[in-house]
Chain A
Amino acid sequence: MSDVAALQSDLLAQIAGAADEAALEVVRVAALGKKGSISELMKTLGALSPEERKVQGPLLNGLRDAVTEAIAARKAALGEAALEQRLAGETLDITLPPRPENSGTVHPISQVLEEVTAIFAGMGFSVAEGPDVEHDDYNFTRLNIPPDHPARQMQDTFYVAPQADGSSHVLRTHTSPVQVRTMLNGKPPIRIISPGRTYRVDSDATHSPMFHQVEALVIDEGIHLGHLKWTIEEFCKAFFEIDSIELRARPSFFPFTEPSLEWDMRCDRSVPGKITFGSGQDWLELGGSGMVHRKVLENCGIDAKRYSGFALGFGLDRMAMLKYGIADIRSFFEGDVRWLKHYGFAALVIPSLEGGLSK
């Protein structure tokens, strides 16, 4: 074995034997440093004849490259090992819970209102709003509810104490005064929904002194009951997220519509505590509706000879109860965090027509 080969073998053994980066550095300096064994050998090349150099040069270069490579490889291996060792010491108990964060929720009323809004927006309705404290005139008189009507009584309607100017107002008993405001301030064609808080003197498992309504109003030329039926059908299919439903209309009476109708939807309640739509032997009451009464149109400045329209209304809370299986309307307003967590919706579950109303 030549000297060079012996040196290479010796150095490679030292590199392989270096226990850590410091030991490896000692080996590197001893071989490749200014006075290292390989560097010293390289210096001898200058004194050789061209023929000898042709032989010895590649031999020494080969030695230097092999050693350099071996050092780099060993260094990487040592680094890897050191990292592994460090990481081994950094182990966490990953079964510990993460740092606490509250997960927020959106109230079912808000969620369902956004669902309803998305559906009606898709049918070309915009959203109108009005105050909760309302003029008696807008809540009753212009809606053709005469002064003697039972609905105006204190046992049904909340009255606000007389104001400094002598006026007295009611907490709106429906969102119909928003329809009045819309008609007074606008011109047909009108296509709105009016959602909001409503108030009646009533409290039990299915009645709350405050609840929420959504009403829809369409005023245009040539509007008839068929348009009303289509609107309710399309809404129900979209809201309950089913392909087909069966509706039943019953004649009814409201002072502000003529004809007046109530709508039922076919449902199955044969399994206690569960309701499914589209089939079954039962009927679920949806809400009231009708063609807007001529007197209401006239009271609100609409030309009743030229325009006709329909209005419909239903309880938003009730819709939320039906769709999401909530039992007691009063629980909506108690702010019980367990209830809010149970029935609430995550912040990013935002109803839309293109992305779906619900998860």
Chain B
Amino acid sequence: MKFTLSWLKEHLDTDASAQQIADKLNSIGLEVESISDPGAALKDFVVGEVITAEKHPNADKLRLCTVSAGGENLQIVCGAPNARAGIKVVLARPGTVIPASGEALKIGSIRGVESRGMMCSARELLLGEDHDGIIELKADAKVGEAVAAALADAGLLTNDPVIEVSITPNRGDAASVWGVARDLAAAGLGKLKTEKVMPVQGKFPSPKTITLDFAPENKNACPVFAGRLIRGVKNGPAPKWLQDRFKAVGLKSISALVDATNFVSQDRGRPLHVFDADKIGNLRARMARDGEQVLALDDVAYTLDANTIVIADENRALGIAGIMGGKESGSYDETVNVFIESAYFDPAAVARAGRKQGILSDARYRFERGVDPQQVLPGLEMATRLILEWCGGEASDVVIAGQLPPPHAPIAFDPIVVEQLGGIVIPRGEIIRILQSLGFVVEDHGVLQVVPPSWRHDIDGPADLVEEVVRIFGLASVRSAALPRDPGVMRSVLTKAQRRAKSARRALAGRGFQECVSFSFLDRKQAALFGGGDEARQLSNPIASDLDALRPTPLPSLLAAAQRNAARGFSNLSLFEIGPGFLSGMPEAQTTIAAGLRTGHALRDWSKSTHDADAFDVKADMLAALEAVTGAPMLAPVSRGAPAWYHPGRSGVIALGKTVIARFGELHPKVLAAFDLKVPAAAFEIFLDALPEAKQKGKARPLFAPSPYQAIERDFAFVVKREVAAGDIVKAVKLAERSLIESVAIFDVYEGKGVPEGHKSVAVAVRIQPREKTLADAEIEAVAAAIVAQVSKATGATLRS
């Protein structure tokens, strides 16, 4: 909502400046979006008077002037043809910033003569195109004063600040100059002086009737509808002052008839409509018929549904109630007889219809926030007066259908609630004063009985009254109060899931991964490559067609990021994201996944220490992250069975029972092709929510008990069929003598010369740690034999000779 300062002052008796008013508006909840003060940019310019104007000694076309700035006289060289003694001018002194150039004026020397100022043209002040001469102010301009008033007087400047406030959805009452003034007056910034509208006596009965035509279930759609006919008007342009005012606040002046209603809407918050009475029958408000069409004032034909209120005559819908009038029944230059409509419409119905049709209008803005039903008749009378004044004619009696709604129900309000909820101690008398100044009717029976004014629709309990009191009294008075603290030491506040995510994050960043945060939605086609993309995970209203599916895992998000980075020339990447994967479109079907992606070839590096991203890189990353999260090495075995987006032969999963807790591997070439990635890529996914609880009870660790006996390391090379898993060999070795075998390390895997075709040699180093005594040679040999036998039995291995 925009208004000018002078317009506001028609309702509010105040000396406050625009800035003071803006500050107060902010503090009472009418947020100031902008103040434009046309005079503010010219605050350093003063009115000057040319005392003398002589020819410049060294230039024919220049004049050497003495200009009074009030108190001091300045020598100024000027080239303007109209520079002459006696005129009042706009004077810039050295240091003043000239709007047109944006530069501060300097003391200059022109053709050998010093010039200590400048007399300005309209163009130099950005007040117009005129640059043929300097501005001549009126003779009564006061020398030495700021120029804004004098420029306004000369017709060069509208010296009237424009304030724009944004109105929250609950404050329809503030969507008028009157309403804003009412709040400011309550807040002590002046005295409300809005003029009461006196009714106009009808000269004849209205030839048009009004009917409310609603089924019982819609009876609240339009409880009251009033109107009157004015005959014999002569339409034309609105008065100049109104055109100027509308222009200042960004409204279009249309004609005297239309502007009269728009003025009442802006000034009093009471939207109206004027029909050309010769183009309509008798009026009725009713619900639209499904499919009914209206050609509105914006030249668009809207197709309505049965939830929309319309104003109609016997034959057709004439306009969309509370939103926009109809083109055919509107008032134009040739209109002679008009019918003014003033009604109250259900805010929710107007909001619904406005949204559905996508119409933004000043009427909708006000009706959907709730207008004051008690203004139905005063608004009608005010419009009548304006039309009679501007367009002549004579008015009929007022016709009215329905009834004004009753006053709001009283609210029982104990003023102590102000302190309890607001944290400010405000004297009871002040609480009552504030409420009354806002138009509330207050009766004091110990507990107050408070009736909200008819223009407020947002007050239905004590908390609302607290807000009113506190915002007007001033939120600056709220004193900080510390929340009570628990005695003792602060406890850890993170949930298990949060601690897991944090551990995984720090561990992966510590391994050189860069953390990404990506959208939870992506292209359905990409989701489909990762087990998603089904109907249940579609968004009904995606913001873009390639962001239409909930992602099943963060992995495709990382691949998409890798693709974008590769396009910029960065293809050696380690990216991770810890975020949601969606298993369906249900709220419970969300799981937290830590996904990591490594891409790239071995680096071109002198040390030759890197290699292409592969499955064992990400296996290490995955195991490190799992260990960081669970606090213990992951002992569960790795098996095959990773999903289709992984390379079928170079991937694996870790499962506990049937629960997959992590999977990893090189990515399937088809997936890489879909993301246009041309470098090797391997990835892992860890299901943080699926990880088991730590088994350990208590915090104490088992006693440290190193064996005092010498450990023995023995190497074995087993020849097995190529498809035998090395992990099975390790498992078998451990089983051979659990109490003695401390660790098993694979140190060589070999295929080729010396090993039969289709076979491989797997060499392991076994560390045997006696616990009770030093082992004799024979005992060591027995362990070795048991190892060979166990591995042979489990995998068909033979010892490599």
- Point out residues on A near B: beta carbons under 8 Å: 96-107, 109-110, 114, 117, 120-127, 129, 131-135, 148, 150, 153-155, 158-161, 163-164, 167-169, 171, 191, 197, 199, 201-203, 209-210, 218, 222, 224-227, 229-231, 233, 248-253, 258-262, 291, 293-294, 308, 332-338, 340-341, 344, 346-348, 350
Contact A333 B518 (CB under 8 A): yes
Contact A335 B541 (CB under 8 A): no
Smallest Cβ-Cβ distance to B23: which chain A residue: A248
Taking a contact as CB atoms closer than 8 A, the residue among A107, A153, A154, A249 that contacts B476 in the complex is A249
Min CB–CB distance B265 → chain A (angstroms): 21
* Known contacts A218-B483, A225-B478, A258-B463; A169/B585 CB under 8 A: yes
Min CB–CB distance B414 → chain A (angstroms): 12
Smallest Cβ-Cβ distance to A101: which chain B residue: B512
A99 partner residues in chain B, CB cutoff 8 A: 605, 607, 609-610
Contact A100 B610 (CB under 8 A): yes
B603 partner residues in chain A, CB cutoff 8 A: 100
Contact B587 A227 (CB under 8 A): no
Contact B485 A259 (CB under 8 A): no
Stretch of B228-236, B321-329, B495-503 contacting A (4+ beta carbons < 8 Å): B495-503
Taking a contact as CB atoms closer than 8 A, the residue among A102, A124, A161 that contacts B513 in the complex is A102
Contact A224 B517 (CB under 8 A): no
How many angstroms from the CA of A220 to the CA of B476 in the assembled complex? 24
Contact B508 A160 (CB under 8 A): no
Min CB–CB distance B426 → chain A (angstroms): 12
How many angstroms from the CA of A334 to the CA of B567 in the assembled complex? 13
Min CB–CB distance B757 → chain A (angstroms): 38
In chain B between 515 and 568, which residues have their CB closer than 8 angstroms to a CB of chain A? 515-521, 535-543, 547, 550, 557-558, 560-562, 564-565, 568
Cβ of B650 under 8 Å from chain A = no
How many angstroms from the CA of A154 to the CA of B541 in the assembled complex? 7
Smallest Cβ-Cβ distance to B349: which chain A residue: A148
Contact B495 A259 (CB under 8 A): no
Taking a contact as CB atoms closer than 8 A, the residue among A110, A133, A171, A293 that contacts B505 in the complex is A110
Cβ of B421 under 8 Å from chain A = yes
A107 partner residues in chain B, CB cutoff 8 A: 515-517
Contact B543 A160 (CB under 8 A): no
Taking a contact as CB atoms closer than 8 A, the residue among B352, B589, B607, B609 that contacts A148 in the complex is B352
Smallest Cβ-Cβ distance to B512: which chain A residue: A102
Contact A125 B493 (CB under 8 A): yes
Stretch of B2-10, B56-64, B296-304, B574-582 contacting A (4+ beta carbons < 8 Å): B574-582
How many angstroms from the CA of A150 to the CA of B579 in the assembled complex? 30
13 contacts between A and B (CB under 8 A): A99-B610, A102-B513, A106-B515, A109-B517, A110-B505, A123-B483, A133-B550, A161-B535, A210-B520, A224-B420, A291-B421, A335-B518, A337-B514
Interface centre among A97, A98, A251, A333 (most CB of B within 10 A): A251
Min CB–CB distance B23 → chain A (angstroms): 10
Contact B463 A294 (CB under 8 A): yes
B584 partner residues in chain A, CB cutoff 8 A: 163
Taking a contact as CB atoms closer than 8 A, the residue among B419, B423, B492, B586 that contacts A133 in the complex is B586
Contact B539 A110 (CB under 8 A): no
A121 partner residues in chain B, CB cutoff 8 A: 490, 492-493
Contact B475 A117 (CB under 8 A): no
Apart from A100-B609, A124-B485, 15 more pairs, CB < 8 Å: A102-B511, A106-B515, A110-B517, A121-B490, A121-B492, A127-B498, A160-B538, A161-B538, A161-B585, A210-B520, A224-B481, A225-B423, A225-B470, A253-B171, A335-B518
Contact B570 A337 (CB under 8 A): yes
In chain B between 675 and 705, which residues have their CB closer than 8 angstroms to a CB of chain A? none
Contact B421 A159 (CB under 8 A): no
Contact B463 A337 (CB under 8 A): no
**Among all A-B residue pairs, the 5 with the closest Cβ atoms:** A335-B561, A251-B29, A102-B512, A226-B423, A259-B467
How many angstroms from the CA of A335 to the CA of B587 in the assembled complex? 27
Summarize A's interface: helix, strand, loop or mixed. mixed
Cβ of B138 under 8 Å from chain A = no
How many angstroms from the CA of A121 to the CA of B497 in the assembled complex? 16
Interface centre among A96, A105, A107, A127 (most CB of B within 10 A): A107
Contact A259 B463 (CB under 8 A): yes
B481 partner residues in chain A, CB cutoff 8 A: 224, 226-227, 229-230
Taking a contact as CB atoms closer than 8 A, the residue among B420, B490, B506, B516 that contacts A308 in the complex is B420
B560 partner residues in chain A, CB cutoff 8 A: 335
How many angstroms from the CA of A203 to the CA of B539 in the assembled complex? 16
Min CB–CB distance B60 → chain A (angstroms): 46
Smallest Cβ-Cβ distance to B588: which chain A residue: A131
How many angstroms from the CA of A252 to the CA of B165 in the assembled complex? 13
Cβ of B14 under 8 Å from chain A = no
Min CB–CB distance B666 → chain A (angstroms): 19
Contact B519 A209 (CB under 8 A): yes
Contact A209 B543 (CB under 8 A): yes
Cβ of B31 under 8 Å from chain A = yes
Min CB–CB distance A4 → chain B (angstroms): 52
B610 partner residues in chain A, CB cutoff 8 A: 99-100
Contact A124 B490 (CB under 8 A): yes
How many angstroms from the CA of A276 to the CA of B269 in the assembled complex? 41
How many angstroms from the CA of A309 to the CA of B195 in the assembled complex? 43
How many angstroms from the CA of A123 to the CA of B512 in the assembled complex? 34
Contact A337 B565 (CB under 8 A): yes
In chain B between 623 and 680, which residues have their CB closer than 8 angstroms to a CB of chain A? none
In chain B between 474 and 494, which residues have their CB closer than 8 angstroms to a CB of chain A? 475-476, 478-483, 485-486, 490, 492-494
Contact B514 A160 (CB under 8 A): no
* Known contacts A124-B483, A131-B590; A251/B607 CB under 8 A: no
Interface centre among A96, A202, A291 (most CB of B within 10 A): A291
Smallest Cβ-Cβ distance to B420: which chain A residue: A224
* Known contacts A230-B483, A250-B27, A258-B463; A159/B493 CB under 8 A: no
B515 partner residues in chain A, CB cutoff 8 A: 104-107, 110, 340, 344
Interface centre among A97, A109, A230 (most CB of B within 10 A): A230
* Known contacts A106-B505, A131-B590; A336/B463 CB under 8 A: no
Cβ of B95 under 8 Å from chain A = no
How many angstroms from the CA of A229 to the CA of B483 in the assembled complex? 10
Contact A161 B506 (CB under 8 A): no
How many angstroms from the CA of A159 to the CA of B547 in the assembled complex? 13
Contact A160 B540 (CB under 8 A): yes
Contact B475 A251 (CB under 8 A): yes
Contact B585 A163 (CB under 8 A): yes
Contact B355 A150 (CB under 8 A): yes
Cβ of B510 under 8 Å from chain A = yes
A123 partner residues in chain B, CB cutoff 8 A: 483, 485
Interface centre among A127, A161, A261 (most CB of B within 10 A): A161
Taking a contact as CB atoms closer than 8 A, the residue among B471, B547, B561 that contacts A251 in the complex is B471
A169 partner residues in chain B, CB cutoff 8 A: 585-587
B29 partner residues in chain A, CB cutoff 8 A: 250-253
Interface centre among B419, B520, B565 (most CB of A within 10 A): B520
Taking a contact as CB atoms closer than 8 A, the residue among B467, B509, B539 that contacts A160 in the complex is B539
Contact A225 B463 (CB under 8 A): no
B171 partner residues in chain A, CB cutoff 8 A: 253
How many angstroms from the CA of A205 to the CA of B202 in the assembled complex? 58
A291 partner residues in chain B, CB cutoff 8 A: 421, 463, 466
Min CB–CB distance B131 → chain A (angstroms): 31
Contact A134 B421 (CB under 8 A): no
Contact B541 A201 (CB under 8 A): yes
Contact A106 B519 (CB under 8 A): no
A253 partner residues in chain B, CB cutoff 8 A: 29, 168-171, 458
Taking a contact as CB atoms closer than 8 A, the residue among B470, B511, B575, B606 that contacts A96 in the complex is B606
Min CB–CB distance B620 → chain A (angstroms): 13
Contact A171 B480 (CB under 8 A): no
How many angstroms from the CA of A102 to the CA of B331 in the assembled complex? 74
Smallest Cβ-Cβ distance to A259: which chain B residue: B467
Min CB–CB distance B316 → chain A (angstroms): 28
Cβ of B348 under 8 Å from chain A = yes
Cβ of B223 under 8 Å from chain A = no
Smallest Cβ-Cβ distance to B482: which chain A residue: A230
How many angstroms from the CA of A334 to the CA of B518 in the assembled complex? 7
